[in-house]
Structure 1
Amino acid sequence: MDAGDESAERSAAANLGHFYEEHLAQARQHENMRATVSSTLAAIAAAVIA
């Protein structure tokens, strides 16, 4: 394996790491949005029932 191959592998690993970090950020955003919508709908349902 020459230096070019090693550089390409490091670059690919860095890209995968970046994609994983982005995936985690989107998952956190999705969970926060789900919690917000659930809380809002529960509050509206409670207000309608009361």
Structure 2
Amino acid sequence: MGKREKERKGEREREREKEREREKERERERERARAVPLIGSTGTFAIVTDEIP
């Protein structure tokens, strides 16, 4: 395996690792739903996420 091939392989691996990290961060964001009090109600909360049902 030539030097350039090894460099390209390493680059591809780093890109895959970055993509995995981005996916993990997106998953954490999804799990980080906030409980928001509903206006005009007492003791009632809504779970707010960025996902569309």
TM range (shorter): 0.5 to 0.7
Q: Give TM-score, length-normalised by structure 2.
A: 0.64
Moved over 4 A (4+): none
Structure 1 unaligned residues grouped into runs of 5+: 46-50
Count how many residue pairs are aligned between Structure 1 and Structure 2.
41
Q: Which runs of 5+ in 2 are unaligned?
A: 47-53
Higher helix share: 1
Higher strand share: 2
The answer to which structure, 1 or 2, has the higher relative contact order (CA under 8 A, 6+ apart) is 2
Q: Percent identity?
A: 15
Structure 1 length-normalised TM: 0.68
